[in-house]
Amino acid sequence: MTQEHIVKQFDKNLEKIKTTIVEMGGLVGLQLNDATAVLSAYDAAEVERISTYDRIINGLNKDIHDRAEILIVRRQPVALDLRQTLAPINISGELERIGDHAKSTAKRAYTIHTIPSDDAAIELFARMSVVVQAMLNDVLKAYEDADIKLAAKIIAQDKEVDILNKKLLQGVIETLAKAPGMAESLIHLTLISRNFERIGDHICNIARYVHQIVTGDDLKASSHTAHARTDI
Amino acid sequence: MTDPIITARGIDIFYDTTQAIKGVDLDILPNKVTALIGPSGCGKSTFLRAINRMNDLIPICHMNGELKIVGQDIYAPEVDVVALRAQVGMVFQKPNPFPKSIFENVAYGLKIHKMTTSKSELQDRVEWSLKSAGLWNEVSDRLDHAGNSLSGGQQQRLCIARAIAVKPKVILMDEPCSALDPIATAVVEELIDNLREEYTIVIVTHSMQQAARISQRTAFFHLGSLVEYGDTKTIFTMPADERTQNYITGRIG
Amino acid sequence: MIDLTKKAGFNLSSRHRAERRFQWAGRSAILIALLFLVIMIGTIARDASGVFRQTQIAVQVDLDAETPSSSYGRIIKTALRDMFPDVSTRRDKKRLYSLVSPEGSFEIARMVVDNPALIGGSHRLWLTASDDLDLYLRGKVDTNLSEHQRRISDAEIRWVDNLRAAGHLRRVINWGFLTKGDSREPEIAGIFSALVGSAYSLAVCFALSFPIGIGAAIYLEEFAPTNWVSDLIEVNINNLAAVPSIVFGLLGLSIFLGYLGLPRSSPLVGGMVLALMTLPTIIIAARAALRAVPPSFKEAALALGASPVQAVFHHVFPVAMPGMLTGAIIGMAQALGETAPLLMIGMVAFIVDVPESILEPATALPVQIFLWADSPERAFTEKTAAAIVVLLIFLIAMNLIAILLRRKLETRF
């Protein structure tokens, strides 16, 4: 879409940040996958793997910060380049938090296997996971391709996750009334559902950052006059 | 939005048959620093020199269009170009103090325009100019030394003092820092920032970072046309035209 | 591994040889030039060396109060007869009298005017000896030649030897060379009138050519529009600089002398002709000096609101001044040495009196040299060489002034 920089190294630096984000996103996706699998059938190895990925993801997060810092020092980026340098810092943060939620989900999954739980809920989680994982893959693709249409689709898709979350909460409330003894497991289920909902939100944030990189508009800001501050 | 102090409409400037500036419309706002940026040969210096009619010195250079300063057409037949240049000052790329003393450099404009009536008034004005240019502390004890015994940055500030001594309405600067080292540049940039309270400044610069640092309005010229003109913040964060973006991000020459 | 020695290749030995060859060629050129210079100056100095002393002969004279000045000549003759009483024949007597310079009687007159106490007594006065006596004393006469081939006869030689033995001869510094005007007699000929004539001519030349030349150069360089007219003027000025100087002499003859009727042989006309000749040189040098001024000063002045005339005269002109002055003085030095145009306007005449104003007839140094070189007397050879030395000193002095002025004006830059 845009031309290359005269200084090729500049393009290489930006490209490297991009691929690192995608790599990080890929690992987070694997974490999500494993966490979902653990929900159905506990596997200690998978839980272990999630922790391993966690360490790598932290390393990549630091790497992105460092690269962005050096790029600002070296190139004094403006306009598009600046957005392409600053946004990954935020995106990386969001990815990291997604990873944390995946880890927390996996840990909780262990718990529910030891207590009687609701199969319907697990079914729901599977569906939520599918949606969320698809969203994650899409947002990474949207980031790579600077595709704001795809980013918009993802934001819309989050509603689906929210609906599923609400459905689960309703189910929990109903079950709680019927079988108070299942309270412990129901709480865990609620929290797991909330994790997925949060993951959806974080992916939405990444989609907004993708939009901001391309257009400069911050979709989170409520009004257009946010840019008109003259004392900056 | 305040009234512009300089308005340019439909400016075409030719060197013989080559067109250097094509159909430029531009409003310069008062008490602001306006930066003119663009690649080499885009015409920004030519446009700058049209504002104080320094292009008149080049026989093959001729202009169409209307250029008004404070509402007056500066190319009208009754305009005295000497009067124009007494009110529109210029600072050049390479510092060019006269081969005279520091005092004489600053006093020259005051003398030829007979702006002071007594010797003490002249001395006061010279002192005021040097203070405004941030040079007084460094040279007050050697006003009779040659102007070119100063360092590059000091010489440029002397040239600025010389220009502001006559209290012009507008100061034009053609790449004033390109011959200076980073510290001298920073000192001059600070000076420019202070000066904009009293003067309107139009500065041509090759350094985009400098334009981003010191200007409030930026105009991007490309191949003789004015591509984009707006608030500096906007130009450098979200330029409207792709050519502008390509230039400021270093994507084309 | 990196080889930085001579054996590293890169065609080094051949290039160094070429360097050395060039150095030696340069040195030889300088040496040859210096050699010629030394020979020329040495020859002239040697030829001129004798000029600065003259021989004087002592005569015992009686000065009466009533003796009219016209009879000082007879008094000298009497004194000589007294010294050599055995001289009898008319021819010998003539030879005897010729030992003292014909100027002798005028010298006594001047002495009496300076010191009236001399009257009424017998005094031993020192008078200038003749040029032949002087030449003989300095050993410049070839005594091996037969008498007819010499200017000084055997009898005179005997008398001179006698006088020398008796202590009646002495050699003194000849200030007259620099203070007196030209003369038929080489022993009293001086260069002063030519010096004054040259000085007046150069003064007129400078007064005319410098302002006009500088003004023209400033106008042509700074104010004249660039069109074919200016190009034509520039070409013509360059051509005029190459025109032989005698053409300017012809111009002076026909217009200044013929049409305007100005006094012939005067430094005024000489100066005007020289001015015409040096104008192109001054204009060309001044234009080059103006062009060498960095345009940034003028630009800065104009941008401040100076008018074009102010910008040029306040900023360009002072900076160009050293170069202009150097060009002017070089032009003057050139004018000093010009003979042909001055000959055409009549400064070739034999002028004895020192000119008092620029309207009186005068001669010039190079013309004087020309005249003396033409004279048959042997003694004038020395005078010619001495005059050349004076001219060279004058030229060197002018060039030194040029260098000093330039240095003084440049330091203010």
Report the distance separating Cα B199 and Cα A12, nearest Å. 44
Which positions 188-207 of A are in contact with B (Cβ < 8 Å)?
Answer: none
Question: Is residue B159 a contact partner of residue B60, using CB atoms and an 8 Å limit?
Answer: no
User: Structure tokens of C212?
Assistant: 């006009």
Report the distance separating Cα C34 and Cα C59, nearest Å. 48
C-alpha angle B27-B31-B32 in degrees, rounded to nearest 5: 65
pLDDT of res. C411: 64
pLDDT of res. B1: 63
Q: Is A86 on the interface with B (CB under 8 A)?
A: no
pLDDT of res. B237: 92
Chain B residue numbers touching A227 (CB-CB < 8 A): 234, 238
Contact C412 B86 (CB under 8 A): no
Instruction: Using alpha carbons, list the distances in angstroms from residue A220 to A151, B122, B234.
Output: 14, 60, 20
Question: Is residue C283 a contact partner of residue C239, using CB atoms and an 8 Å limit?
Answer: no
Choose, out of A78, A86, A230, the residue to mutate when testing the contact with B (most B CBs < 10 Å): A78
Report the distance separating Cα C231 and Cα C253, nearest Å. 30
Q: What is the pLDDT of residues A185-208, one digit of tens each?
A: 888 888 999 999 999 999 999 999
Rounded average pLDDT over C203-225: 92
Q: What is the pLDDT of residues B90-115, one digit of tens each?
A: 999 999 999 999 999 999 999 999 99
Chains that touch B (3 or more CB pairs under 8 A): A, C
Q: A48 to chain B nearest CA, in Å?
A: 44
Q: In the predicted model, is pLDDT for residue C367 greater than 70?
A: yes
Q: In the predicted model, is pLDDT for residue B205 greater than 90?
A: yes
How does residue C3 score in pLDDT terms, banded at 50, 70 and 90? confident
Choose, out of A80, A84, A214, A227, the residue to mutate when testing the contact with B (most B CBs < 10 Å): A80
Name the β-bridge partners of C121: C63
- Closest-CA residue of B relative to A75 is B249
Contact A77 B249 (CB under 8 A): yes
How does residue B28 score in pLDDT terms, banded at 50, 70 and 90? very high
How does residue A223 score in pLDDT terms, banded at 50, 70 and 90? very low
Q: In the predicted model, is pLDDT for residue A137 greater than 70?
A: yes
pLDDT of res. A117: 64
C158 by DSSP, 3-state: which? helix
Rounded average pLDDT over B218-229: 96
Q: In the predicted model, is pLDDT for residue C141 greater than 80?
A: no
Q: C242 to chain B nearest CA, in Å?
A: 32
Partner residue opposite B250 with nearest CB, options A5, A82, A227? A5
User: Structure tokens of C92?
Assistant: 């010998």
Instruction: Using alpha carbons, list the distances in angstroms from residue B167 to B80, B170, C294.
Output: 18, 9, 27
Q: Which ipTM did the prediction report?
A: 0.92
Q: Where are the beta strands (DSSP E) in C152-263?
A: 169-173
Q: Is A3 on the interface with B (CB under 8 A)?
A: yes
Quote the percentage of chain A above a pLDDT of 70: 92
Q: In the predicted model, is pLDDT for residue C337 greater than 90?
A: no
Amino acid at C225: P
Q: What is the pLDDT of residues B129-145, one digit of tens each?
A: 999 998 999 999 999 99
How does residue B12 score in pLDDT terms, banded at 50, 70 and 90? very high
Rounded average pLDDT over C183-196: 81
- The string over C53-81, giving b where at least 16 C-beta atoms fall within 10 Å of a residue's C-beta and e elsewhere, is ebbbbbbebebeeebeeeebbebbbebbe
Q: In the predicted model, is pLDDT for residue B187 greater than 60?
A: yes
Q: In this structure, are strands B200-204 and B33-37 parallel, antiparallel, or unpaired?
A: parallel
Chain B residue numbers touching A225 (CB-CB < 8 A): none
Name the β-bridge partners of B27: B7
pLDDT of res. C78: 83
Q: In the predicted model, is pLDDT for residue A230 greater than 60?
A: no
Tell the burial category of B249 from Cβ atoms under 10 Å away from its Cβ (0-12, 13-18, 19+). Answer: buried
Chain C residue numbers touching B152 (CB-CB < 8 A): none
Question: Is residue B209 a contact partner of residue A76, using CB atoms and an 8 Å limit?
Answer: yes
Q: In the predicted model, is pLDDT for residue C45 greater than 80?
A: yes
Q: A141 to chain B nearest CA, in Å?
A: 24
- Closest-CA residue of B relative to A76 is B209
Q: Is B31 on the interface with C (CB under 8 A)?
A: no
Number of CB atoms found within 10 A of residue A220's CB:
12
Q: Positive or negative CA dihedral for C330, C333, C338, C344?
A: positive
Among B227, B202, B201, B224, CA closest to B63 = B224
pLDDT of res. C70: 72
Partner residue opposite A3 with nearest CB, options B212, B237, B252? B252
How does residue B162 score in pLDDT terms, banded at 50, 70 and 90? very high
Q: Is A82 on the interface with B (CB under 8 A)?
A: yes
Contact C305 B163 (CB under 8 A): no
Choose, out of B242, B251, B252, the residue to mutate when testing the contact with A (most A CBs < 10 Å): B251
Rounded average pLDDT over C327-353: 84
Q: Which residues contact B88 (CB under 8 A, 6 or more apart)?
A: B51, B52, B69, B168, B169, B170, B171, B172
Rounded average pLDDT over B141-155: 92
Q: In the predicted model, is pLDDT for residue B160 greater than 80?
A: yes
